[in-house]
Amino acid sequence: MVIGIYDSGVGGLSVWRELRRYTNARLLYFGDTCHVPYGEKSPEQLETYFWEIVGFFQTQGCQSVVVACNTSSALVLPRVRDRVGIPVFGIIESAVQAAVAVSGGRVGVLATRGTAESGVYQTMFRTIYPQGQVFVQSAPRLVPLIEAGQITAQVTRDALKEYLAPLVGRGVDTLVLGCTHYPFLQELLVDLLGPDVRIVDPAPSLALHVTEELPLEPAEMGPRGAGTGFWVSGDPTTFQETAERLLQEKLPTVQCHPMAGERA
């Protein structure tokens, strides 16, 4: 089996690194870097990107797609799920279930503007965890900073501190990382929040869900994967340099597949 994974940029790599722990299936990663950040795009734009990326995946032999992006999971999947001919996995439900497993009842969600304004987390928590309280905070400056590799810069720390303040003020005991870019800020988050707030990265939960749901062959069930092909819609060199810095490992040569749709 070949599994496609996509995001607006490097953020979905936090899902990719978890997924390869569970499967030997061939993986294909696509970063739509000419349209990053997705959090500022309309649902219509995001749906256009979705269909083009899924079409590309299918030309590469992908038999399922992981939408490693909270914004697309929130705004696109409800519009397209019944029209896609292959299994497609989003991240929202996995994030909520992972949070419910550890929360004491007061959950904060740090997210992009698109995800925050969609109300998807509030709705999902009311469905799965009605006795809890959820507070969602938009953090629009974080994705561009992470895409620039500034995960330890003072400007990133200051932005993160600003966005966390309202959630801390609400007394949250759990923080959901509602964007796949945010796990790359783990060290800053721990430093700013301290030991009393549980930080939930949804990527492990999503990766496990994908491998449990797909009809993988026995030979595809081991760790580390059969390898990954990496593609982007923008500059492959910049993506590769940033990705290797964030992951602390070398990647195969990243290739470019230009998007036919509108540019950012």
36-57: per-residue pLDDT in tens?
Answer: 999 999 999 999 999 999 999 9
Give one word for 226, left, alpha or beta, with left for phi > 0 and alpha for psi -120 to 50.
Answer: alpha
Q: What pLDDT, in 10s, does the model give residues 238-257?
A: 999 999 999 999 999 999 99
Residue type, 21: R
Q: Is the pLDDT of residue 222 over 80?
A: no
pLDDT 10s digits, 103-142: 999 999 999 999 999 999 999 999 999 999 999 999 999 9
Write down the residue that tokens 């870019």 correspond to.
181
* CB distance 114 to 39 below 8 Å: yes
pLDDT exceeds cutoff 50 at 264? no
Contact of 203 with 183, CB cutoff 8 Å: yes
Once rounded to an integer, what is the mean pLDDT over residues 52-72? 97
Q: How many Cβ atoms sit within 10 Å of the Cβ of residue 57?
A: 22
pLDDT for 90 equals 97
Q: What is the set of active-site residues? A: 69, 179
Q: In what order do the strands lie in the sheet with 255-256?
A: 88-89, 64-67, 2-7, 26-31, 228-232, 255-256
Q: Distance (Å, rounded) from C-alpha 261 to C-alpha 264?
A: 10
Cα distance between residue 159 and residue 90, in whole Å: 27
